[in-house]
Chain A
């Protein structure tokens, strides 16, 4: 582009600085609004997506509480099997956890956990695929637990239905025998639990026993030890997962509602709903902002158009002085685009500053791409006007302009 054209456009801009400043300020305000709305929308969308991902991978923990002591467990083996059959995609880690307190050589009191667990529990929590474990006769025990069972540690309080242990076998109160295998045979890479109340319990202080072996020994006070987790299948997205969980709770209440209440952690669900609401507001805000921008763009394009129509005679003079149509168009485009681009960039920067400095209740995630796109929008009026002008300039007849006897259409 001829340097003269650039300097002429700049000069004309400076001479009409009031008009261009007004133009730039309008554009800055429009871009700042768009930018803010788009950033809020972007933030809500990202957080919603993150939350969806969290919920998709979330294990929903269900606990039970009895209104009065009852001889029925909160979830029996048949019901558990029915749940699994009804939701084959879901994973239902289930365990009944019994703590056993023992003393070490140094007389410290420690706690070991005897977990009557389901196959899904092993699979989900320990990544161990031991199909049939929950109804089998094998148990897995960590080193510390085996030391307890061997009598190398002294049990302070025995709250489990284990009668005795001998020669690598556990004998339960009903006479059932379980062979005890080292925990390492599960092949797990875990060192500590990261599940429910067992968080950070070292694996060597854990014994895993088949779920079915517990039921003959159920006592009403054990109801609180039932820990059912629900992990809706991978196919269930953030919106479907809560629905599945609620359906399962409905089944539990249908079966055992007379004796038990069930509780599920719903924090994520509440968050999800609140983000859905925020996203809804943000979408409305973005739509309004988009409409405003469209109006601003149309208005500014018309202003640019009028501004240049008034100069049609000057264009004709320039044409007579040797300016080609391309030069004229470049000149007009520069003159209209530079102030609006400056306004657009100012608006994007102002929006970024405002969101960082004054919006503390929500962390707005600002995206350079959104800022750049919003600033680039400011070029639209120039381009739209330039497009119209290009058509006008194609038909430009210097003669008619200079004589002023016909309107330039």
Chain B
């Protein structure tokens, strides 16, 4: 059974009488531990697709199944539960909670999932150690560099032991050195068995995926084989 299965997906935004089709006829299958990248021009709907796959938005039509269960029919609470327990998110702008320390940021998803405080703390420290930031546990985001913030965000994405990590331009705001470090960290996680769905403009990074999903500007989408580099 596929981990994620999208069939004939369509997303339309309505603004008054105006309708804009973001994508149409999108089909995609992601298996456990797979690395898939989603590319396309700006405005082609990459992030929208990623958020739909991450249960943060819904399809206008088509079906989306996570581990065989139809996500489209699920209530908001159930979607929140899936996001919290099965998915991890890494964003281009990190999106850490400013009022929380690095440790508290990593603890947050576990808090919402009802993990007891002591366990939460131990696991958060372990994750920070894993991304090389154990010594920055008490620092607030404002005192961390971009690369460090993104590593905290990755630790946070791993908090509940997700089966899939959705990363939206995770290196887009970083310099080359930090970008490469984050890239390696994500690939390492993928090698350890976590599926990785990556939205990127970076052809080099996209080419490291097992499969590339290309969204064209027109309301149609198709799957292409991995490039030769692989």
Contact = CB atoms under 8 A, between A and B. Distances in A.
11 contacts: A2-B112, A4-B114, A314-B97, A318-B108, A320-B83, A320-B95, A321-B108, A324-B80, A324-B81, A397-B57, A399-B51
B77 A4 contact: no
Contact of A2 (B93, B95, B104, B114): B114
A15 interface: yes
Of A2, A15, A399, chain B has the most CB atoms within 10 Å of the CB of A399
A2 B117 CA distance: 12
Contacts of A238: none
Contacts of A11: 99-100, 104
Given A319-B80, A322-B80, A15 B99 contact: yes
A404 to B, nearest CB: 8
B200 interface: no
Given A2-B112, A399-B51, A322 B84 contact: yes
Interface string B72-112: 00001100110111000101010111111000100011011
A327 B76 CA distance: 12
Q: Which 4 A-B pairs have the closest CB atoms?
A: A322-B84, A4-B111, A399-B51, A324-B80
A398 interface: yes
A318 B112 contact: yes
Contact of B111 (A8, A314, A316): A8
B99 A322 contact: no
Of B54, B57, B112, chain A has the most CB atoms within 10 Å of the CB of B112
A322 B47 contact: no
A399 B47 contact: yes
Contact of A322 (B48, B93, B104, B109): B109
B83 A321 contact: yes
Interface string A1-35: 01111011001100110000000000000000000
Interface in A361-407: 397-399, 402-403
A321 B84 contact: yes
A327 B112 contact: yes
Given A399-B48, A402-B91, A314 B98 contact: yes
B150 interface: no
Interface residues of A, number: 29
A220 to B, nearest CB: 95
Contacts, number: 84
Interface string B45-56: 001100100101
A291 B160 CA distance: 50
Contacts of B117: 3-4, 7
Interface of A: 2-5, 7-8, 11-12, 15-16, 313-314, 316-327, 397-399, 402-403
B152 to A, nearest CB: 12
Nearest to B156: A321
Contact of B97 (A2, A317, A319, A322): A317
A11 B95 CA distance: 19
B111 A2 contact: yes
Contacts of A8: 108, 111
Contacts of A7: 111, 117
Interface residues of B, number: 33
* Interface of A (DSSP majority class): helix
Interface in B92-141: 93, 95-100, 104, 108-109, 111-114, 117
Given A313-B95, A399-B57, 13 more contacts: A3-B117, A4-B111, A4-B114, A11-B100, A11-B104, A314-B97, A319-B56, A319-B83, A322-B81, A322-B84, A322-B109, A324-B112, A398-B56
Interface in B166-223: 168
A4 to B, nearest CB: 3
Interface string B36-78: 0000000000011001001011000000000000000000110
A326 B113 CA distance: 14
A347 B170 CA distance: 50
Contacts of A16: 99
A12 B104 CA distance: 11
Nearest to B89: A320
Of A8, A11, A316, A322, chain B has the most CB atoms within 10 Å of the CB of A322
Given A16-B99, A402-B95, A322 B83 contact: yes
Contacts of B84: 321-323
Contacts of B104: 11
Contacts of A327: 80, 112
Given A15-B99, A399-B56, A322 B51 contact: no
A326 B80 CA distance: 11
Nearest to A314: B97
Nearest to B86: A322
Contacts of B112: 2, 4, 318, 321-324, 327
A264 to B, nearest CB: 73
B143 to A, nearest CB: 14
A341 B77 CA distance: 29
B15 to A, nearest CB: 10
B184 to A, nearest CB: 24
Nearest to A3: B117
Contacts of B95: 313, 316-317, 320, 402
Contacts of B114: 2, 4
Contacts of A324: 76-77, 80-81, 112
Contacts of A314: 97-98
